[in-house]
Amino acid sequence: MLKRFQRHFLLPFALACSALAQDAFFLKPNDTVVFYGDSITDQRLYTTFVETYVVTRFPQLPVRFVHSGWGGDRVTGGGGGTIEERLKRDVIAYKPTVMTIMLGMNDGRYRPFDASIFETYSSGYENIVKTMKDAAPGLRFTLIQPSPFDDVTRPATMPGGYNATLLRYSDFVKELAQKNGQMVADLNAPVVEMLNKANASDPTNALKIVPDRVHPGASGHLIMAAALLKAWGAPALVTAVHIDAASKSVKSAGNTSVSGFDGLTWTQKDSALPMPVNMADPATALAVKSSDFVESLNRQTLKVTGLEGGTYTLKINGAVAGKFSEGQLSEGVNLAALPTPMLKQAEGVHALTLKRTGVHNMRWRQLQTVFAQDGIARVQTIMENLDALDEELAARQRSAAQPSSCYYELARE
């Protein structure tokens, strides 16, 4: 009876959960997302975290990502050319359906708010939006309120701090998005909130989150990625399973299917992977602890009720994932925080994300922009080969994100 219940209810339920989450998410099948910005986007950290999250959480959702940040950029352009050149070559050429824009850190010129400087920013930002609306009708924007200058872990460099200037710019971005009916994502306030909590509990490692006050490390970018994903309606759920050992029944299974359950062993075929997070890095661990990252984006819960008292070892595919008391299992444990085969698989996906974006960056920054005026046919051939490699790595990335069946065992010590 249980197996028939699993076959006829749990799998459709899991697929329905996955479909509902995907329908609510901002990105849609066959979207091309271009991340546009200055050096903070050029770091390719919050952007690659977002890409890996999407690929692992929605392994059946085909989305293409292009990382087009350039260090030093302002709304008028910068080292990569004028804003017209940048948009034509680095955005429009990819025929985006979604574009994120994060500019402001350099535009404020690291000084107290100045009305004339702000006018250049506001008019330049409006020009970017208009240019892209004209070039790509139907383009869906996400205007990003700029990430903060760190006035939390160190004394301010000016009265009120430079982040106060960025907040004025941030308000404009929000108002512009609202005026045009566009998506807006705040990458300032959540990071500042996290920095305040981190600095209060561990000031030494809090300094490492935005080490030069401008460019966050991976720890800060993780929180920025979370802010963008939450603005897009990203689900917290990876999977959620509740089983009762006493009655040998599966009470619920979200975004996964359970089979072969006999009380203490079972097989799961999930519909998603957890988001890989490097908790071995002290700054990342502190940022996660000081934010709602886990609760809002990375919940992979296993709840086992009806167990006898004692300590239980959980193995997945024969490898120990952790040891828990009966009480902990009854309350539920978050597998996303454990060294599971699913996490290892997700880490492999992220490694492919970094390789793929590295190939694109090489093609763009070391060939396309450097040799643009030279007319060397061999360069064009090399770029075409790199484009093919980019596509192959994207295919491997998507393949690597497909969840596989895992065998679970609970053993009382």
Tokens of 225: 């990625």
pLDDT value, residue 125: 98
- 76 domain-assigned: yes
- 17 domain-assigned: no
- 150 domain-assigned: yes
Distance CA 289, CA 369 (A): 41
Question: pLDDT band at residue 20, thresholds of 50, 70 and 90?
Answer: low
- Find where tokens 């939450």 sit: 230
Type of residue found at 232 = W
- 176 domain-assigned: yes
Number of C-alpha atoms within 13 angstroms, CB side, residue 257? 21
- 286 domain-assigned: no
Q: Where is 249: in which H helix or E strand?
A: strand 249-254
Distance CA 199, CA 214 (A): 17
Distance CA 241, CA 290 (A): 27
- 409 domain-assigned: no
- 329 domain-assigned: no
Looking up residue 86, the CATH number of its domain turns out to be 3.40.50.1110
Q: Averaged over 330-338, what is the pLDDT?
A: 97
What is the share, in percent, of the chain residues with pLDDT greater than 70? 95
Q: Averaged over 44-70, what is the pLDDT?
A: 98
Q: Averaged over 193-210, what is the pLDDT?
A: 98
Q: Are 102 and 37 in contact (CB under 8 A)?
A: yes
pLDDT value, residue 279: 96
Q: Averaged over 165-192, what is the pLDDT?
A: 98
DSSP summary character for residue 363: I
Question: How many structural domains compose the chain?
Answer: 1
**Sign of the CA dihedral running 205, 209, 210, 211:** positive
pLDDT, averaged across the chain: 95
Question: pLDDT band at residue 18, thresholds of 50, 70 and 90?
Answer: low
- 356 domain-assigned: yes
Distance CA 298, CA 335 (A): 9
pLDDT (tens digit per residue) in 376-387: 999 999 999 999
**Sign of the CA dihedral running 308, 409, 7, 304:** positive
Question: pLDDT band at residue 23, thresholds of 50, 70 and 90?
Answer: confident
The CA distances from residue 356 to 69, 78, 395, in Å, are 16, 25, 10
Residue among 253, 249, 301 nearest 9 (CA): 253
Contacts of 375 (CB under 8 A, 6+ apart): none
pLDDT at residue 107 is higher than 50: yes
- Tell me which residue range forms the domain holding 90: 26-232+342-400
For helices 189-201 and 282-289, angle between their N-to-C axes, nearest 10 degrees: 110
Distance CA 46, CA 10 (A): 35
Distance CA 299, CA 282 (A): 21
Report pTM: 0.94
pLDDT at residue 82 is higher than 70: yes
pLDDT at residue 3 is higher than 60: no
Q: Averaged over 154-159, what is the pLDDT?
A: 95
pLDDT at residue 147 is higher than 90: yes
Q: Averaged over 237-265, what is the pLDDT?
A: 96
